[in-house]
Amino acid sequence: MEISTLATYHCLAFVWYFFVAYSITHVETEERPSEVFLYGGQWKYLTVLNLVLQAVFYGVSFLADVLRLIKKLRCAKCIISSRDLLFSVLAFPVSTFVCISFWTLYTYNRELVYPKSLDGVIPLWLNHAMHTAVLPFALLEILALPHRYPAKKKGLILLGFVAFLYISWVLWIYSVTGEWVYPLFALFSPSGLAAFFAGSLAVIISFYNFGEFLNRMIWGQSKFSS
């Protein structure tokens, strides 16, 4: 794909994610159900954090494209490294996890992750923007250009560290409020919850590996962006 086309695509994707993140963080306060948006606001939900992550990623990608267009290759090389690290370790596995885990649980019992009371607060388009569109965007990014993946050990350590930070945030909120971020967590005993978190980490690691596999299958052994 031509650099100018990539720049346009990454700019539009950045604007889209910024708009979606802005929309969900400005839901009218008086319309919010009492059990939602307590301590931590929207920032306790992985879905919302993922929107910010995607906006940052596409912003960095657009910057890399612009630097390449104006021939600032030395600066572009550093930004491209950051872009590829963001995508491989976080942007692809997290967006894939958000989409698949949300719709799996929603299909099983929506009250565990997305109470029906939210239907009158969050428009249908915004729900799909947060939980559905993130996966096609991630797949399109892999098709658009190759990404350099870090050494497997480094990548998994970084992913595990970010997962640990989020789990710590979830547990901290529970310790302060006595309420779980997702009603699903209340169904588990402490050991069951630990197993659930461990299983979720295993799933997101599998998505990391899947992204690396797709990148290699589509672009071959050369993982450096052109």
pLDDT band at 96 (very low <50, low <70, confident <90, very high): very high
Sign of CA dihedral 85, 138, 96, 119: positive
CA distance 7 to 32: 37
CA distance 57 to 147: 13
Range ranked top by mean pLDDT from 32-41, 95-104, 173-182, 216-225: 95-104
Of 12-21, 28-37, 177-186, least confident by mean pLDDT is 28-37
pLDDT band at 152 (very low <50, low <70, confident <90, very high): very high
pTM of the model: 0.90
**In the predicted model, is pLDDT for residue 27 greater than 90?**
no
Q: Which long-range contacts (CB under 8 A, 24 or more apart) does 32-39 make?
A: 32/121, 33/115, 33/117, 33/118, 33/121, 35/115, 35/117, 35/179, 36/115, 36/117, 36/118, 36/121, 38/177, 38/179, 39/173, 39/176, 39/177, 39/179
Could you count the other beta carbons within 10 Å of the beta carbon of residue 135? Answer: 17
Model pLDDT, residue 226 = 38
**In the predicted model, is pLDDT for residue 34 greater than 80?**
no
Q: Which two tokens stand for residue 83?
A: 């872009």
Residue 193 in 3-state DSSP? Answer: helix
CA distance 188 to 195: 9
Q: Which two tokens stand for residue 23?
A: 């929309």
pLDDT band at 192 (very low <50, low <70, confident <90, very high): very high
pLDDT band at 174 (very low <50, low <70, confident <90, very high): very high
Model pLDDT, residue 133 = 97
Contact 48, 42 (CB under 8 A): yes
Could you count the other beta carbons within 10 Å of the beta carbon of residue 94? Answer: 26
Q: How far is CA 204 from CA 12, 90, 95, 97, 201, in A?
A: 27, 10, 10, 6, 5
**In the predicted model, is pLDDT for residue 225 greater than 50?**
no
